[in-house]
Amino acid sequence: MRWIIDFLNSSIGKKIIVSFTGIFLCSFLLVHLSGNFLLFRSDQGEAFEVYSKFMSTNGIIGFLEIGLALGFAIHIFNTLRLTLENKRARPVPYAVNKASENSSLTSRTMFYSGLLVLSFLIIHLKSYFWEHRIVGSDLTMYQSVVESFKDPVYGGFYVFAMVLLGLHLNHGFESAFQTLGLNHKKYTPIIKFLGLLFSIIVPAGFASMPIYFFIYQ
Ligand code: HEM
């Protein structure tokens, strides 16, 4: 038992947990994006409503949602612990710190892009999850999404948040596999390329929704 606690409190233990939860959250993004593509069907939101009802009433999905909430919480909690640890270990920055030569911009801004994605998530959950599942709304989920994206400020905020999500995923994807030991002459460039594809396609897919509804509704 002691070794588990030691592992969870070690630096590498925290990094491994952040990596696993990060990969798990990436898989959620893929599922969420695929479901949201139903918004584009020209059926006045019928298919999206069936999907949305299923997601909010199915018992197994309810169980998976607890796992998802835990995934987010554990990912954020351990990232905060690692960031604080790094700050404590080096309270004064190096006198000569050519950060741009030592690391990429995306890696240096992971904490901030993560924080902004979290702010997006809070606003996002308030708009749909909270308003529908907790408060209750007269609108269908489809109507809510379409109505909210008519507002250029709200839609613009989504597009901006997706750029940050892209930056966060771009470094996170590659770094997660590196932490998990995948550092190989042949496979690392492939992982890097897949990370680049993922960090462009997924946020662009999400961003296409507010843009589409702003233009066509
Ligand atoms: C244009 C983009 C997006 C749209 C239209 C959208 C739409 C929705 C809707 C309608 C719900 C409520 C589902 C329900 O309660 O039945 C929801 C839930 C959720 N969304 Fe999004 N979403 C978008 C992007 C994102 C992104 C980028 C993230 C993560 C960074 C995200 C994370 C979540 C989470 C965690 C939930 C709650 C989980 C759940 O209800 O199953 N969404 N989204």
CA nearest 166: which of 195, 198, 196, 199?
199
Q: Is the CB of 76 under 6 A from ligand 1?
A: no
Amino acid identity at 49: E
Radius of gyration from C-alpha coordinates of the chain: 19
Taking the domains of the chain in order of start, what are their residue ranges? 2-92+106-216
**pTM for this entry:** 0.92
CB 21 within 8 A of CB 74: yes
Q: Is the CB of 164 under 6 A from ligand 1?
A: no
CATH 3.40.50 for the 2-92+106-216 domain, yes or no: no
Question: Tens of pLDDT along the chain (217 residues)?
Answer: 789 999 999 999 999 999 999 999 999 999 999 999 999 999 999 999 999 999 999 999 999 999 999 999 999 999 999 999 988 886 666 555 555 555 677 778 899 999 999 999 999 999 999 999 999 999 999 999 999 999 999 999 999 999 999 999 999 998 999 999 888 888 899 999 999 999 999 999 999 999 999 998 8
Residues 6+ apart with CB under 8 A from 148: 127, 154, 155
Number of C-beta neighbours around residue 146 at 10 A = 20
Name the residue with the closest Cα to ligand 1, atom 38.
65
| Residue indicated by tokens 């990436």 | 26
